Amino acid sequence: MATILIVEDDVEILEMMKIALRRKGHEVYGSPNGVDALYQVSYYKPDLVILDLMMPWASGDAVLGYIRSTTSVKQTRVLVVSAHPNGAELAQQLEADGYVGKPVEMNVLTGYVERLLEPSNS
pLDDT, one tens digit for every residue, the chain (122 residues): 899 999 999 999 999 999 999 999 999 999 999 899 999 999 999 999 999 988 877 788 889 999 999 999 999 999 999 988 888 998 999 899 999 999 989 999 999 999 999 876 65
Q: Long-range contacts made by residues 38-42, C-beta under 8 angstroms, separation at least 24?
A: 38/63, 38/66, 40/5, 41/5, 41/66, 41/67, 41/73, 41/76, 42/70, 42/72, 42/73
**CA 52 to centroid of chain Cα atoms:** 7
85: DSSP letter: T
50: DSSP letter: E
pLDDT at residue 56, as a whole number = 75
* Whole-structure pTM value: 0.93
Q: Which amino acid is at 112?
A: Y
Sorted by where each starts, the structural domains of the chain and their CATH numbers stand as 3-121 (3.40.50.2300)
pLDDT at residue 122, as a whole number = 54
